[in-house]
Structure 1
């Protein structure tokens, strides 16, 4: 990116299809172009396969996009958050619609639904307790506290 000397900051954008991007954060610029600078940002809700780009914003209103990069999560990188959950939780690490099973501590299926990346799983009708979340061959635990 050419105009880092007047850098206001970077808008971080994410996409599931490399076409439609959503704003997921902003990192303030360090203001000058003297020497190399290191910036960091952590995506709290990555898709299984995420596309990212930066929009570098200048103080004078000009902007420039970076190239698009692809980040693919490990299959074992499936996670459930927040945990404990109140009325809903999310499953990160999905790249497409997946069937999600929720089993109670006795192993009985109490909820079964299809979930898309970034879509919440509603838990407000479940009793408080420990549940097993099964997505494909992966299983995770979540505590429900309504």
Structure 2
């Protein structure tokens, strides 16, 4: 692992970024050391302060991210990493996060009577995993998990049509503190037509927050049906609402040839084009004298 020596920043700059901090203690750190946010290192925020380490006063203590090829968070003393964490998170993981464990750097000795503790407003208290969006009965169901939680107030659910401007749909309360896996779910009962983007804004008890990854789902609804594309397997799910008139389906290639037909269908229908050559196909949905056309793409 390579060393990284952090520069001392001008006092005027340092004073503008003190809103977040990290406290580190345990092992050979003789008393809690407060680290303040200083700047980005390898694209992620870094923290720095001084403390007493193994009896030595005034040791510079840093928490920062080392990029490729190492890709780890580290706790460093005078520029030398002693502890590491391989979770590629937006902020340093706290030691209360059971999904992102800290370990000693190979070849470095820094042991004491208590375990390493990395806490404070600058750490990521939880890790959100398996955040997904799916269609069920013309509604979008969001699901996610946490491996552990620390000071977790809950999750604000946000939705966007362009991935840039976000609206708040609701809030799901967290478990505050937990050392076991927790599962969560939220239902968007009125999804947007077209592609909808979803994300979670995880909020701590002290109102600090972080965002999840973005999940998306394509939902197309035209009067009596909706169509969903299942990314990756070239299958489309067609949801047809009950109707007094029969509904007929046809899949047509670019040359106008009918490759598939279904008559008198209702409910959920699966249109599988995985066995067709790559290209663009048309799905015609005929109800009475009206025909709707949807574009299907085989990659």
TM-score norm. by structure 1 comes to 0.50
| Matched residues, number | 87
User: Any stretches of 5+ residues in structure 2 without a counterpart?
Assistant: 1-88, 90-123, 126-148, 228-289, 294-299
User: Any stretches of 5+ residues in structure 1 without a counterpart?
Assistant: 81-91, 94-134, 139-146
Counterpart pick for 2:171 among 26, 48, 73: 26
What does residue 6 of structure 1 align with? Answer: 151
What does residue 216 of structure 2 align with? Answer: 70
Structure with more relative contact order (C-alpha pairs < 8 Å, separation 6 or more): 1
What does residue 199 of structure 2 align with? Answer: 53
Q: Which ranges of 4 or more aligned residues in structure 1 deviate by more than 6 Å? A: none
- Taking a change above 3 Å as real, the CA distance of residues 16 and 38 of structure 1, as seen in their structure-2 partners, is same
Mark the structure with the bigger radius of gyration. Answer: 2
* 1:36 matched to 2:181: yes
TM-score norm. by structure 2 comes to 0.26
What does residue 161 of structure 2 align with? Answer: 16
CA distance in 1, matches of 2:291, 2:160: 23
Give CA deviations for 1:6-43 in whole Å, capped at 9, x if unaligned: 10000000000000000001000011131110011000
- Taking a change above 3 Å as real, the CA distance of residues 22 and 136 of structure 1, as seen in their structure-2 partners, is farther
More strand by share: 2
How far did residue 137 of structure 1 move?
A: 2.0
- Taking a change above 3 Å as real, the CA distance of residues 19 and 7 of structure 1, as seen in their structure-2 partners, is same
* Alignment RMSD: 3.1
Q: Describe how 1:49-128 pairs up with structure 2 within 5 A.
A: 49-73=195-219, 75=220, 78=222
- Taking a change above 3 Å as real, the CA distance of residues 34 and 78 of structure 1, as seen in their structure-2 partners, is farther
CA distance in 2, matches of 1:136, 1:22: 34
Greater alpha carbon shift after TM alignment, 42-51 vs 14-23:
42-51
